[in-house]
A and B are shown apart, each in its own frame.
Chain A
Amino acid sequence: MITLTHFLLVSTCLFCIGLYAIIAKRNAIMILVGIEFIINASILNLVAFSRYDKVNYGGQVFALFAIVLAAAAVAVGLAIILNVYRKYKTINPDNITDLRD
């Protein structure tokens, strides 16, 4: 049986990789991938804690909710990215500086 600490360490590493992707990448799609990494790290935490909660299954249930939220976020985010690309012909967030046209 694997204790909680191992899960927490792995998810911390994944969280930091996602953070790096968000800060350093020059491509909006890769930034979305970084956000997915962070969401996955949080899902791993929820699932790991859920092992000690046999009565409520709270962690697993909310892990499923988090997966649904991530899917919705990606759908909306990619639609926005495609619209931005249509207007600016680039998806580098550094070049997108106007809030209105």
Chain B
Amino acid sequence: MELAVFYAFAALTLGSALLVVSLKNTARALFLFFVVLFGMAGLFIFALADFVAITQIMVYVGGVLILMIFAFMLSNKELLADLQNTSSKFLSLPNWQSLLLCIGFLSVMTYGIIEWQENTPKWITENIRHENILKSSDNNINQLGIKFMTQYLLPFEVISIFLLAALIGAAHLSRKEDPN
């Protein structure tokens, strides 16, 4: 039952991701990107990472996607004409070279995963044997907060400075140039 729901979410995510890459209309593709991100958040919950799922929705849907739609509307004057365009070509044909490359890569990685299954890393089998894995009754967010403020304090600070620098850089880049 759990697996069926998991694969329903996976099918939702992968199906809309395929539509995103095959739609001709960029506006529609960007709004479908919403669906992909929500589906990914659902998949995170299956791995018992509820905080990561909420962060995914807040950061991606609230930040990244809005930015992308802004950039799209600022860089495409034919948006409205594009939206009303009812041409017969709804999907763009995939060009076969990139399709071939991707399917080849997919088969190689799938083969790798199947091979990898036989010799799982030792720490995973150890932790499964000692019942030392996350359970749905655990208080994950609490533990995560403690870890952030103790064990992972330095990476946390570094990422904060990095985010500040990146946002200042982005604001500087997108500023209007002086007329002279």
A-B contact count (CB 8 A): 212
- Report which of B17, B113, B151, B166 forms a contact with A5, defined as CB distance below 8 A: B113
A99 to B140, CA, bound (A): 48
The secondary-structure label for the interface of chain B is helix
On chain A, the residues within 8 Å of B151 by CB distance are 56
Chain B interfacial residues counted at CB < 8 A: 81
Establish whether residues B26 and A30, one from each chain, have CB atoms under 8 Å apart when the complex forms.
Answer: yes
Asked whether A100 is an interface residue with its Cβ less than 8 Å from the other chain, the reply is: no
On chain A, the residues within 8 Å of B133 by CB distance are 51-52, 54
Q: Which residues of A pack against B, CB within 8 Å? A: 1-2, 4-10, 12-21, 23-25, 27, 29-30, 32-34, 36-37, 40, 43-44, 47-57, 59-61, 63-65, 67-76, 78-83, 85, 91
25 contacting pairs across A/B (C-beta < 8 A): A6-B7, A7-B46, A10-B10, A16-B103, A16-B109, A24-B99, A29-B72, A30-B26, A32-B68, A36-B60, A47-B44, A51-B47, A52-B127, A56-B151, A60-B52, A60-B144, A61-B155, A71-B60, A72-B163, A74-B63, A75-B166, A75-B167, A81-B71, A82-B174, A91-B76
